[in-house]
Chains A and B, each alone.
Chain A
């Protein structure tokens, strides 16, 4: 079975731009979660989608949004990028909540 696939692996953007990250879950998994990983804050929950509906949301500003498609693939969007948004963004999928299977992440650098 193929694992969770995240694209692209690396992104460099400038402040004020927006970015879209993509995640393809493991086949059959309907839940997709997103996490932000930084050296200072560690792993922080962004949001979870299940069957195209946002089921849970973390404490991030509205600039962070996501969606899930009917094939369970998910995208995460960050608008008006700030320097502090530089991080590794991890996507994880599961059958219905746990355990989570993580992708390799997308490394976003904002300059």
Chain B
């Protein structure tokens, strides 16, 4: 079955430290993967998608098909990065719906 796993419910780092939010997936076919972010009191919003291969707010994510992973990384965390992060997979085997991981809460301490 298609699945997205985010093994960490909470990740706490200090400002300026590197951060890596893990995401693993299982999918039959070529996956399309996304990271969504939800800041406090704000709506869920797209952070980045793997096909764009871009860096948003200093975050990058590389799709590793061999390890079936799509980890989100940032070299120097900022306090304003504190939020809930969701990894999502677009399941074209089931009409294109998004399958979300359980989310990781990132807390960046001063």
Q: Which A residues contact B (CB, under 8 angstroms)?
A: 3-4, 33, 35, 42-45, 48, 55-56, 58, 90, 97-105
A110 to chain B, nearest CB (A): 23
Please determine whether A98 and B98 come into contact, CB atoms closer than 8 angstroms. Answer: yes
Question: What is the predominant secondary structure among interface residues of chain B facing chain A?
Answer: strand
Please determine whether A99 and B43 come into contact, CB atoms closer than 8 angstroms. Answer: no
Please determine whether B101 and A58 come into contact, CB atoms closer than 8 angstroms. Answer: no
Please determine whether B90 and A58 come into contact, CB atoms closer than 8 angstroms. Answer: no
- Hey, what's the 0/1 contact readout for B81-108 against A, CB within 8 Å counting as 1? 0000010001000111111111100000
Which B residues are in CB contact (< 8 Å) with A102? 36, 43-45
**Contact among B49, B94, B103 for A56, CB-based, below 8 A:** B94
CA distance A13 to B46 in the complex (A): 32
Which B residues are in CB contact (< 8 Å) with A42? 100-103
B34 interfacial by beta-carbon distance below 8 Å:
yes
**Contact among A44, A56, A98 for B95, CB-based, below 8 A:** A56
